[in-house]
Amino acid sequence: MLANPDSRVTIHMVASLDGFIARKDGSVDWLETSDEFAGGDTLDPGFVESFLKTIDCYVMGSRTYETALSFEAKGLGWAYGDKPTFVLTSRDLRRTRDTVEFYSGDLAQFVNGRLRPAFRAIWFVGGGVVSGECLRLGLADEVRYSILPILIGDGISFFENLDSDVPLHLAEVKAYKSGMVALRYEVRKPRTGA
């Protein structure tokens, strides 16, 4: 099946300044940074809510799903609302809600054959293995990289196992009062499998 030309695959994660999305053991305690950048914007909850409505589905790796389940178990809620959430895994994982679907296999075929014809705004939300796979296969149109004001020294990289350069076009930069800098890049690399 041909890819829907209106669909857009975005990779979005939050990372430390040194490019890590989690510590080696998977912990993300460091996401709670405290800083103040006087010239920054404030994230308006109303804006965030209406922005999230523009996302049509989420895709994540199994380890990110397991982290999301552990957040939920701690009472921190499910971050993906009622949007279809596709979890990549070869294992038999617990399905906790109707919106979650598991997939195993060829990611390019899944994105171009199944997701692009059905959804416009497709968001890959991690982790590093899946983001790397998405870029390596030339599936991403956009990378949204939010940098927190912290260095953690070691951890899981934003993009694991990239084997070639990925040229980008910087499309947007926003700095927030919290000290977070949100970067949005368009991927210049031509898509494959489309």
Ligand X SMILES: NC(=O)c1ccc[n+]([C@@H]2O[C@H](COP(=O)([O-])OP(=O)(O)OC[C@H]3O[C@@H](n4cnc5c(N)ncnc54)[C@H](OP(=O)(O)O)[C@@H]3O)[C@@H](O)[C@H]2O)c1
Which lies closer to ligand X via its Cβ, residue 6 or residue 66? 66
- In angstroms, rounded to a whole number, what is the distance separating the alpha carbons of residues 121 and 91? 27
H-helix segments, the chain: 45-53, 62-73, 107-109, 116-118, 128-136
- Residues in 89-128 that interact with ligand X by CB under 6 A: 89-91, 104-105, 107, 125-128
d(CA 59, CA 8): 13
Q: According to the binding rule CB under 6 A, does residue 14 interact with ligand X?
A: yes
Q: How far apart are CA 77 and CA 74, in angstroms?
A: 8
37/175 Cα distance (integer angstroms)? 8
Interface with ligand X, residue 184, by CB under 6 A: no
Q: By CB under 6 A, which span of 35-43, 88-96, 161-169, 180-188 interacts with ligand X?
A: 88-96
Is residue 142 a contact residue for ligand X (CB under 6 A)? no
* Complex with ligand X: residue 87 or 187, whichever CB lies closer: 87
Rounded CA separation 153/120 (Å): 37
Interface region with ligand X, contact rule CB under 6 A, candidates 20-28, 37-45, 47-55, 172-180: 20-28
Strand-pairing partners, residue 94, are: none
Choice between 63 and 184, CB closer to ligand X: 63
Helix or strand or coil: residue 69? helix
If one asks whether residue 155 binds ligand X (CB under 6 A), the answer comes out as no
Write out the residues near ligand X by the rule CB under 6 A: 13-15, 21-22, 26, 28, 60-64, 67, 88-91, 104-105, 107, 125-130, 133, 156, 160
